[in-house]
Amino acid sequence: MRLTLRIWRQRGPEQPGTMTAYEVDGISEDMSFLEMLDTLNERLILDGDEPVAFDHDCREGICGACGMVINGQAHGPERTTTCQLHMRHFSDGDTIDIEPWRAAAFPVVKDLVVDRSAFDRIIGSGGYVTAPTGSAPEAHATPVPKPVADTAFEHAECIGCGACVAACPNGSAMLFTSAKVVHLNVLPQGAPERESRVLDMVGTMDAEGFGGCTNTGECAVACPKGIPLQSIATMNREFLRAARRAPR
């Protein structure tokens, strides 16, 4: 198929960006969206132009590196990551707009590449269980009921891609943060740090410049891993509970 791509080009964080149009031809419906961009980039190199920069790595939908806003939707029209979106979901002659994640806390590095290091700092402020190597008790010492383990897993599936932030009109990171809070707070292993975890992670999230949550729900719709919107409600409850208990 033949497509018109309108892609956000921006040389660096301080330079202004612009939408630039490119025509691509011979696109197979079996290509992934990133393979379609590979095809464009191969041509741009031979034409003496700069290829479009974008983050990607595993191309299996699990590392969370890739992500672009495609026709106004984070990761495009299907509920998956950009690398797992295939061209069969587009039609010959389509015009496709491709932009980076747009959020105050995710500054553009170049073209479609953004800086998501704020996510790492949120995790570093409490998204862990303090269990230094060698100190662990026997794994079967604490049984975890299967429904609890399943809930933890469902939230632990987050890949940290940032689609939730990109989809949110407020640029909020509530879904990302709540996924980790719920994963660890429901487990017995996470219980000792239950309160400090939610207070510290929410504090870091706010300090990093993410917006507030207004229950729009776009985050959960865009999430390629299906992190439930309810996790935000659970985190709010955890936060209130912790804030009440915290020593003043």
Partner 1 sequence: MTSYTAYQTGEPIADTKAPAGPIEERWDRRRFTAKLVNPANRRKHTVIVVGTGLAGGSAGATLAEQGYHVVQFCYQDSPRRAHSIAAQGGVNAAKNYRNDGDSIHRLFYDTVKGGDFRARESNVRRLAQVSVEIIDQCVAQGVPFAREYGGLLDTRSFGGVQVSRTFYARGQTGQQLLLGAYQALSRQIAAGNVEMHARTEMLDLVVVDGRARGIVARDLVTGEISTHFADAVVLASGGYGNVFYLSTNAKNSNATAIWRAHRRGAHFANPCFTQIHPTCIPRSGDHQSKLTLMSESLRNDGRIWVPKAKGDTRAPGRIPEDERDYYLERIYPSFGNLVPRDIASRAAKNVCDEGRGVGPGGQGVYLDFADAIARMGRDKVAEKYGNLFEMYERITAEDPYEVPMRIYPAIHYTMGGLWVDYDLQTTVPGLFAIGEANFSDHGANRLGASALMQGLADGYFVLPSTINDYLARHPHDTVDPQHPSVTEAVEGVTARLEKLLSIDGDRTPDSFHRELGELLWDDCGMARNATGLRKALERIPELRDEFWRRVKVPGGGEELNQSLEKANRIADYFELAELMCLDALHREESCGGHFREESQTPDGEAARDDDRFSYVAAWEFRGTGAAPVLHKEQLVFEYVHPTQRSYA
Nearer to partner 1, 42 or 92 (CB): 42
Smallest distance, partner 1 to C-beta of residue 131, A: 4
Q: Which stretch binds partner 1 (CB under 8 A): 31-39, 163-171, 207-215, 234-242?
A: 31-39
Residue 220 interacting with partner 1 (CB under 8 A): no
Decide if residue 14 touches partner 1 (CB under 8 A). no
Q: In the stretch 71-110, what mask flags binding to partner 1 with x, by CB under 8 A? A: -------x-x---x-x-x--------------------xx
19 binds partner 1 (CB under 8 A): no
Between 66 and 213, CB nearer to partner 1? 66
Count of chain residues binding partner 1 (CB under 8 A): 79
> By CB under 8 A, what part of segment 51-70 binds partner 1?
51, 53, 55-65
144 part of the interface to partner 1, by CB under 8 A: yes
Positions 148 through 167 that interact with partner 1 (CB under 8 A): 149-150, 152-153, 156-157, 159-160
Task: Sheet containing 95-99: give its strands across.
Answer: 18-24, 3-9, 95-99, 69-70, 73-74
- Dist. CA 38–CA 41, nearest whole Å: 5
Closest among 137, 248, 228 to 186, alpha carbons compared: 228
Instruction: Confirm if 211 and 144 have CB atoms less than 8 A apart.
Output: no
- Shortest distance, position 33 Cβ to partner 1, whole Å: 11
CB 73 within 8 A of CB 99: no
The only residue of 184, 201, 222, 232 in contact with partner 1, by rule CB under 8 A: 184
Of residues 110-129, those binding partner 1 (CB under 8 A): 110, 113, 115-117, 119-121, 123-125, 127-129
Which tokens in the block code for residue 134?
């060698």
The CA distance from 27 to 15, in Å, is 31
- Distance of closest approach, residue 50 Cβ to partner 1, in angstroms: 5
Query: What are the DSSP calls for 63-131, one per residue?
Result: S-----EETTEET-SSSS-GGG-BGGGS-TT-EEEEE----TTS-EEETTEE--HHHHHHHHTT-S---
Q: At its nearest, how many Å lie between partner 1 and the CB of residue 109? A: 6
Q: DSSP for 198-223?
A: HHHHHHHHHHTT-B---S--HHHHH-
Strand pairing class (18-24; 73-74): unpaired
Please say which residue, 171 or 190, places its beta carbon nearer to partner 1. 190
